[in-house]
Every structure is written in C-alpha cells, then in structure tokens.
Structure 1
Amino acid sequence: MACTPVSRGSYSAVRVLMLSWEYPPRIIGGISTHVYHLSKSLVRKGIGVHVLTFDFPNTQFQEVIDGVRISRVESSSVSQTDFLLWIYSMNSLMIERGKELLRDQMFDLVHAHDWMVGRAALELNKSSGIPLVTTVHATEIGRRAGLYDDYQRKIHEIEQLLIQYSEEVICCSQYMLSHLKVNFGANPNKISVVPNAVDISRFNSETNDGRELGQKLGPGVRLAEMVVLYVGRLVEEKGLHTLIEAFEMLNHDNVSATLIIVGEGPIKEDLTAEVRKRGLQGVIHIIGFVDEAMLIALYRSSNIFVLPSVYEPFGIAVLEAMASRIPVVVSDVGGLSEIVEHGLTGLKFQPSDPVSLAASIRRLLEEGSLARELTQNAYRMLAEKYSWDVAAERTLRVYERASTEILKFGAVPDEHFLTDTSLTSLLFTLGATNGKNAMSLGEIADVVKAPGLPLKLILGKLSSHGYLVNLLDPDSNEVRYHLSDKGIVKACARFS
C-alpha cells in the first residue's frame, strides 16, 4: 500500500472519521450545529471529513453535502422506549458501520462528540489503533449538579472512559476545562479549549414582518410590539421556569412583550402547564422545533434574546443571536460568563433569580440606545473570536498533537535492532494474530531477516495498544503499524 508522507503543518491528506449522534437535519441541541459547521470548515481547509451519525426521516443513508461525506445508521428497528438502551443499540450499529468504513478507507483520526457516541468511539479506537479525539460539549454531572442514580452514573462512566482513552480532549470554554479537571481528574495537558463559533452569513437576511411571522407560528399567536426569544433544549438546566416567572412579573407591571420559546425536550409539557397555570397563554408561546428558515426569521424579528441557564458549558445560541444583531441577556454562569461582558456585549443576571432577569429585560426594552450599543459591540466581537474558520484552525492543531503524541518515542538505532533479541521476540509475539491488513509471522520474519532494509522500531502506547513505526525502502514512504486485536494493522503516518 503506497502512502504519501505528510509534512508537519500540512493537512491536505488528513482524513477524519467524525462521530456524532445528531447531524442536520436531526437537530436536538447544539452538537448538530457544531459538527455541521466544523466539518464544513475542515473540508474547506483540505481535510477529508466523513461523518457517521444516526438517521433521520427523509434523509439518505449515504450522501455528500458541502464536501462532507455522511453515513447514517438506521434507527427504525431500534426501540426508543429507554433512551440509554436506544443509545447503546445505536452505538452497536455505529460500531458495525464504522468498522466497515475503516476497512474500506484510510482514516488518520476518530473524532467523537460527547458520550452518546462514546461506546462506538472507544471500540473503533481499540480495534483500529487510530488516535481518538473527543469533544466534550457537556457532562452529566454538570447537567444534574451531581450523580443521583445508576442512569446518570452510567453516562458519567462513559464520559470518564472517553476522556481517559482519548489522545486529546476538546472543550468549549475555560469553565469546562476546569470542570473536567475537578470532576474527572483529567490531565490538563491534553485538554484544549476551542470555543464554539457562528456562521454570520446565515443571519444576514432581512427582518420579517412581525404580523406575518405571527401567522406562520400558528393560530392564536399574536406578537406584541416587543418580542423576547429563547432557543434551546427544553430541559431543567436551561432555567426556563425562571424565565416564565420573570415574564409573569413583567406582565403584571403591564410591560407589553411576547415571549417565544423554541425547542423540544422532556419538560415541554410541564412548561406548557406552568404557562397555563399562570394565565400567560397570550403572552408566552412554546412553539417546539422549527426549521432553519423559521429560526432565522425568529432571530431577526426578535428584540431581545434570553438564555437563563443554571448550567451552560458555552451557549452557541447566544452567538446566533449576536449574529442576528439582537441584544442578549444571559445568566452569569459557566461559558456564558466568558462570552458576554456585562454592559459591553450583553447583560448578565444572577442565575435562578427572576427579579434580576425581569429587570434586565425591562432595561433593554426601555433603553433603546443601550440595546443598540450592546448589539454593535457583540457583532464586532464575533468576527474576531467566534468564526468557524478560527475554530477549525484550532481543531487542526489538536489533530496534529493527537497524531504526534503517539510518536513520542526513543528510536532504536538501526545497527542495534537485529541484535536485540527481546525486540525481535516482541515483534513475533505481536504479529501472532493475523487478520485483514495485518502482518503475518512470515512477513515479520522476512523483515527481520533482511538487514539491508533501513528499519526502525519504536515502542510506545496508544490507549490500550502499543504501536510500531517502520521506515521501509524502496518506497521511502512513512508507514505506521498499529497493534490491535487483529494484529499489526498498516496505516499511513501523519503529521510526522
């Protein structure tokens, strides 16, 4: 197998197998948007990206979109009554498909996104020896402020294994870096902070007419002159009960504003019941999932965006609101504290404090000049700090470290190799299990008995596997041999 060596800093031949449980049009939370835009940006930089994900109605199992290859595993035959069991079953399908891809194609890295694909990522890393990079978008212990049952502890265990066995770990904020160190004992030297980003061009469309938008949202939806927007999952950690309570206060004070809540999640019915109980049906509208066009129209037609989370590693929806040129109000927690500078790029309030939140919303509704100033400052900041081009470049540097990490070795001099019986014995032992693309004992013996070949042996550790690197003439190509349960698997070396 001929391999073209890639010099350090050159990414043109790098291929990444990207694992994500959600990918457009499946959009549950921020991971889908993140993986989509990161993959597109990596492709623009010459990286080969193949996304392995779960299927979604009316999508193809194999397709190429924006230069990104996509493979989807079928979920229709898997029961969804138990989410954890469903994830386990979907990971089994992912492992099967992933191994097919690894047999048929050359990949340099596996990049996993969160625990939902953790089992597949770990198994593909173990069976192939290909370096694993994991992006931790959020954690179970963070979402729940603790671990209280076996369900949560199982998720935490998967997260722990991902962090432990990944060559490199990516998180989205300094807050998350500290969180991983404290709650997982993670080695900070292998954690990189790569903030989320936003494609500003997505939000450059003209503002829709508010009355027309109200009609599109459904019968009975009448928008006030001022619209406050929330976009995100409907889960406890998003602080939506606080937002509803704050809006009740504003309504009691005769503040004319409409709250639109966009998203799906397990507490949707509870939120709907709370709105009804407080008599706010004409003021607060929970509209569920919306498509891309409607989402952009909502951003562009709203006056204020609010994210009232009690736990938030980053908050990509805040960047989308800033790109739409609307002022933001966020809780002073987690990654939100790093994105928003109070009084400069947005307003912050104390988490779980409806009085503080109501006061911040009222201030922006009443002080138009402040709202415009915050909007302008935030928009300028986006281009400097939160573009996908910047995020992709930082991710590439992580990929480089992940690949070079396994090459931190002490090379055995050529003239010493054939006289070192322990190394020769190790070669035979490791090559004893043969498989597809593996070196047989006979092939290893041929190499060992050919002293004319400039051969170097390097010993080290990759997750639970060792590895070998050989420089073999006459091809003069750099080749890495990963040690896996299948034998010594041949692969091109990268970034070396």
Structure 2
Amino acid sequence: MYSPHHIRRIWILTFEFSGIAKVGGLGEVIPLIARELTKKGYDVVIVMPSHGITPHGFKELDLECQGSRYGVDGVEYPYDLGFLEGVVEGVKVVLVKGKSYRTSMVLDVWPPYSYVSEKACLLARAVHCLAKRFGYPDIIHANDWHSAVAAALLKIDAELRGYALPVLYQIHLRGSPSYPWHYASEHWCGLPDTMQRIWATTKHIFMHTKDLWDSCWGNIECFIVKLADTIATVSKSELELLVRDYGEWIRGKTCYSYNSTSWSIKEVEENALKLYNTKRRGEIRWRLVNELLQKFTTWGYLNLTDNEVLVISSGRLTPQKGFDVLLHAAKLLPPSIKVIVLGRRVGDESYEHYLRNLLNEVWGKTIIIVDDVEQTLYQLLIYSSHVYSLSSRYEPFGISGIEALALGTPIVVSNIGGLGEYVSDLRVNPLGVGIKVQQDNVTELAMAIQSLGYLVYYSETGKGIDKIVFRELRDLALREHKFGEKLRDITVAYVDMIFRPEHTANSTLACYELARQMAFYRANA
C-alpha cells in the first residue's frame, strides 16, 4: 500500500460554504481556508449538498451516479445523484443534488440541516462516484459529523485499492447522533465491513468496520475520531476536551487550527464614509440603529431618548448561545445602555418564546433583530458599538468575537472553550481585549458590560467614568483618558497578529502534513 508523498489535491467536505449556504461559523471558515489554500497554489475542491441552491454560473457535470439502498424493512430505495460545478470567489465547488424526485426531496431542501442524516448518507454515495470518475485527491478534509461518513467511505475504498488516502476530520462543533450499523453499512450509506487499521498510541491495530462502529455504539463522531488519520479542533481547549473524552491514545494524531477573519476595519470605514460621510463611530451609531429599527423585523422595543452605550450580540437563537443570560443581565443595566441582538432563527420555537417573554422585562433597553442584516450594515453596527457580548454556554472557538475585535470593538465573553483561550482579561492585563466572566453569571456579565461599555464611552465623551463598576477598568480610565480608543487599536492589532486567513491556512497545512504522516504509518502497518 502507498500514501501520497506530498499534498496538492484537496477535497474539503462540508455542509456550509458562504455564498451558497451558511448557518453559522462553519460557513465562514471553510471559504476562508479554501481561498487561502487556492492562493497558495493548492488544487482545492469543495464538495457539499446543494440544499436546493443553484448558484449563477454553475453547470451540470456529465456524471452518472445511480444505485439502490436497502432499508431495514427490506425495501429497495433507488437514488439518482447529479452534480453542479462552479467557482465561488476563486474556489471550485461541486454541489450534490438529486436527479430523481425521491433523492431531490432529501438533498435539495432548505435549511441545510433538514434531513441531515440522509443528506450525510447520500453525500457519501456522491463522493464515491466522484472518486471513481476523477480519482482520489491527496487528502480528505471533512468538517463535523455530517461529512464523516463520506470521508470514511473514501478512506476505506481507497485502502481497498492499495492507497492510504489521508483523512483529516475537523471538529467545529462537538456531538453527533448514533445509529445502528445498518445505517453506515453497504446497504445504506455504503461502508463495507472490511479490516481497518486504527491508530492506538504507538501503532495501528486491526478492526472490522462493523466492530469499530459497534464499539462506539453507533456514534458517528466516535467512529470517525477512531478511523481518521488526524483529528483537528478549532482551539487547544477543545482538543483537551476531546482527549478527555476519548483517551490519551488520540493525542498523537491531533492538532488544532484557530479560525480567523478577513474582516477589515479599513473597508468598514470606507463603507461608513460612503453611507454617512464620516467614520466617527459616535456620529454613525444611533443613526444606523434608527435605520435598522425601521428596516428590519424586531422583537422587543428600544427607547432611544436616553441612549449612551451600545452593546451588540449575534448568533443562532439557541440555548447554546446564552442570549437568555444576556437578557437577564440587561435587567441589571442602566437604561442608558442599549442591547441589540442580531438573531438567526433555526427553528427552536420554545427557546424563541422564552426570549420574547424575557424581552418584556427589558422593554425599552433590548431588542432582537430576527431578519438577516446585510453584511455592510452588520459590520457597521459592530464597528460603531462600544461592546460586543458573547454569553455562550458552549463555544469551541467563537468566530464572531474575533470579527468584532477586527473592527475595533472590545468583547465580554463567557470564560469557556475558545473564548476563554483567546480573550485576555483587561482586569489583569492592560493589553487585554475584553473581559471574561463566569458562564451563566448574570450579575458579573452585567457588571462587565457596563464597565467595559463606559470605559470606551468615557474615552469618546469624557463622561460616565462614575458608571465603570470594575475598579481595575476605572483606574485605567483615570490614568489614561483615551484608553478606550487605545483599546480599539489593540484589538485590531491583536487580530492582525494571530487571526488572519494566512495563519489559519498555515496551521491547517500543518494538520494536513500530520495526516499525511499518519497515513504513511498506516500504509506500512
């Protein structure tokens, strides 16, 4: 068996890609990595379900991909897959769609995670067809469990043909469902029950596919963590959680790669000049808020007669993001602090109902905008705000925090996961970029938002120093009147130093090399 000597051809499997389908941070980081690798001369192909999207300029590939699957009921279920190929911002993208009604009703459905287990299964069948027609790449980069079965099928099929195809499995958000072996098997998703070489601390051991699947009780994440050559996470803390859950034996085949952003404060300032003839945040802030209130659907009410400090938060309206904690904290904030949440609805109606009830308790101080706000206005809102808040209960990385820092807005975050890792607290480090608070601690969150908000507000207006609750931040303001403006410059410099696309691309390439080495060991096991 042989393995690649170097990495050039890369297939990235994903369910999200900004410009086609995006729900969360995954949809931003994958294009960013792909564009940067393409610039470096790598042959990158994105493969993902169409989710019913047919982008302008995409053309159908001349490729037949038909077959049958057999359910536990013994009934035959034919599938007929089609492929659309195009280029998005310089990156080649292949979309998998259904050609028959039955297949289309699974693959060509919005939102992206509708029928997710079946989309994942048909994606596996699709990449198998692509590999038979165009050959195997030098590496498979699968992202989250939805792409895991597809990556596993390519790895197993290539190995049966004498090729140790490197597989990097990257976890952006932990967790996956569990299914009986029939789901993964040749009868349904296509995995043959053959002998697998599984890394075990210092050597590879041998297990049949079914035995490996059953050893994980059918959990897809567990299965791919054991099967893949290398496991990547988006933060060091997430990697440590992975080792805790699966054991020290996986440490030798793990790596982490921080997410990054291409957001540019210069571009946002140029947009501010075009729209408002100024880039001064204080002159933009409340004009922009007024426009948003008139243009978009909102929950709650904002009284703008006594506004001073603006706080922004954004993300999916799910308990994970902790918006209920933020709304409880808003009860403790003075009326002069206004909170705007840019919320993406994902169908969690009970949580949305809970948030709407909480909004009644912060009437006049807090709103949730539930429409998609175009990126130019979204960036301007964050740029012009005093504080960006991330009160998440679980956050492997938290790309929205990095985006806010890139625009010069300091952040208040829960001290968890990637957030606790990349945020240095101003209370202990004058070169910090925000404040870390205990998860679900409403009082500390309110104090942090008020203190950081008025630290920045004081540097703008010379007012509000008496409202800075934390003594450490008040001392910073007393020593340096314009410290809030200096803080904005620090946040931008911090992102430029660590969290730009070239940094993510380089760390991803290091993970690719580790996967290639592990595949070499596998080939010689």
Same fold (TM over 0.5): yes
One-letter code aligned to 2:88: I
Q: Pick one of 135, 140, 165 that aligns with 1:110.
A: 140
Whole-Å separation in 2 of the counterparts to 1:285 and 1:213: 12
Q: Pick one of 81, 103, 106 that aligns with 1:78.
A: 106
Q: Pick one of 9, 18, 29 that aligns with 1:15.
A: 9
**1:38, CA displacement in angstroms?**
0.5
- How many residue pairs get aligned? The number is 391
Change (3 A) 1:83 1:65: closer
One-letter code aligned to 1:460: N
**Matching residue of 1:390:** 503
Whole-Å separation in 2 of the counterparts to 1:239 and 1:225: 24
**1:371, CA displacement in angstroms?**
3.4
Report SS of the residue matched to 2:105.
Answer: coil
The one-character-per-residue Cα deviations of 1:104-154 (angstroms, maximum 9, x if unpaired) are: 32411110001122222212222223221011112128xxxxxxxxxxx99
**1:213, CA displacement in angstroms?**
4.8
Whole-Å separation in 2 of the counterparts to 1:81 and 1:293: 25
Change (3 A) 1:269 1:378: same
**1:356, CA displacement in angstroms?**
0.6
Whole-Å separation in 2 of the counterparts to 1:219 and 1:96: 41
Unaligned runs of at least 5 residues, structure 2: 59-83, 99-103, 160-164, 177-214, 277-283, 427-431, 460-482
One-letter code aligned to 1:286: I
Whole-Å separation in 2 of the counterparts to 1:154 and 1:279: 46
Change (3 A) 1:115 1:156: farther
Q: Pick one of 113, 117, 120 that aligns with 1:91.
A: 120
The one-character-per-residue Cα deviations of 1:366-388 (angstroms, maximum 9, x if unpaired) are: 22244333322221111221111
**1:276, CA displacement in angstroms?**
4.0
**1:335, CA displacement in angstroms?**
1.1
Alignment pair present for 1:460 and 2:524: yes
The TM-score, its normalising length taken from structure 2, stands at 0.68
C-alpha contact 1:134 1:168 (8 A) present in aligned 2: yes
C-alpha contact 1:345 1:374 (8 A) present in aligned 2: yes
**Matching residue of 1:350:** 438
Deviates more, 1:76-85 or 1:126-135: 76-85
**Matching residue of 2:28:** 33
Identity rate of aligned residues, in percent? 23
C-alpha contact 1:41 1:389 (8 A) present in aligned 2: yes
Report SS of the residue matched to 1:367.
Answer: helix
Report SS of the residue matched to 1:205.
Answer: helix
- Structure 1 runs of 4+ aligned residues shifted over 6 Å read 79-85, 153-156
Equivalent positions of 1:35-184 (< 5 A) are 35-56=30-51, 57-59=53-55, 60=58, 61-74=84-97, 76-78=104-106, 86-106=115-135, 107-129=137-159, 130-140=165-175, 157-184=219-246
Alignment pair present for 1:263 and 2:344: yes
Whole-Å separation in 1 of the counterparts to 2:448 and 2:321: 17
Report SS of the residue matched to 2:331.
Answer: helix
**1:391, CA displacement in angstroms?**
1.2
RMSD: 2.9
Change (3 A) 1:272 1:58: farther
C-alpha contact 2:128 2:153 (8 A) present in aligned 1: no
Change (3 A) 1:257 1:287: same
Report SS of the residue matched to 2:47.
Answer: strand
The TM-score, its normalising length taken from structure 1, stands at 0.72
Whole-Å separation in 1 of the counterparts to 2:118 and 2:330: 42
Change (3 A) 1:359 1:165: same
Report SS of the residue matched to 2:520.
Answer: coil
Equivalent positions of 1:58-457 (< 5 A) are 58-59=54-55, 60=58, 61-74=84-97, 76-78=104-106, 86-106=115-135, 107-129=137-159, 130-140=165-175, 157-185=219-247, 187-201=250-264, 204-206=267-269, 207=272, 209=284, 210-216=286-292, 217-218=295-296, 224-250=307-333, 253-265=334-346, 266=348, 269-280=352-363, 283-343=366-426, 344-368=432-456, 369=459, 370-408=483-521
Bigger radius of gyration: 1
Whole-Å separation in 1 of the counterparts to 2:410 and 2:45: 36
The one-character-per-residue Cα deviations of 1:15-36 (angstroms, maximum 9, x if unpaired) are: 1110111111311111110101
**1:389, CA displacement in angstroms?**
0.5
